[in-house]
């Protein structure tokens, strides 16, 4: 599945051990896994999410994207070095805990985050688009 990462890494492998700079906090919400949300339009899920974040004292994200059956939320911040990784992880874990009722993906709550996009057709071994519809 195609992914997008916004952090900077040493080399071409995305792993927490290779993080150089962090520029945002983020969450992938797999809301299709939550019974009371799965039939809602992405805009309605986002509205409920923003209300919940406000109740929990978390600022609105800088960016919200609908990626098929998921929402990707991003909180941009100034670049921080890996020296502040522990602080960054604490903030990232808070976002995960707050958004868990909305299907927050635990695999996303670390320094090598990648946003998944169900709408983009994955590539086959010969690098041609597959027939995956993303629906």
Predicted confidence band of residue 109 (pLDDT cuts 50, 70, 90): low
Residue 127, phi-psi category: left (phi > 0), alpha (psi -120 to 50), beta (remainder) = left
Q: What is the rounded distance in angstroms from the CA atom of residue 107 to the CA atom of residue 59?
A: 22
Is pLDDT at 14 greater than 70 in this prediction? no
CA dist list (Å): 90 to 51, 66, 81, 82, 126: 22, 25, 15, 13, 41
Does a structural domain hold residue 100?
Answer: yes
21 within domain boundaries: yes
pTM of the complete model: 0.70
Range of the domain at 84: 3-116
130 part of a folded domain: no
**How many independent structural domains does the chain possess?**
1
Residue 62 is assigned to a structural domain of this protein = yes
- 44-86 pLDDT, tens per residue? 999 999 999 999 999 999 999 998 789 999 998 888 777 878 8
30 confidence band (pLDDT: 50, 70, 90): very high
Within a domain: residue 132? no
């Amino acid at each position: 599945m195609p992914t997008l990462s916004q952090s900077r890494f040493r080399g071409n492998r995305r792993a927490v051990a290779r993080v150089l700079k962090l520029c945002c906090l983020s969450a992938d919400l797999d809301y299709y896994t939550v019974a009371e949300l799965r039939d809602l339009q992405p805009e309605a899920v986002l509205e409920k999410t923003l209300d919940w974040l406000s109740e929990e004292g978390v600022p609105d994200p800088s960016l919200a994207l609908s990626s098929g059956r998921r929402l990707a939320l991003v909180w941009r911040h100034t670049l921080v070095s890996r020296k502040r990784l522990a602080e960054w992880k604490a903030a990232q874990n808070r976002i995960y805990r707050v958004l868990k009722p909305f299907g927050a993906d635990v695999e996303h709550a670390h320094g090598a985050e990648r946003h998944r996009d169900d709408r983009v057709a994955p590539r086959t071994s010969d690098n041609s688009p597959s027939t995956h519809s993303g629906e």
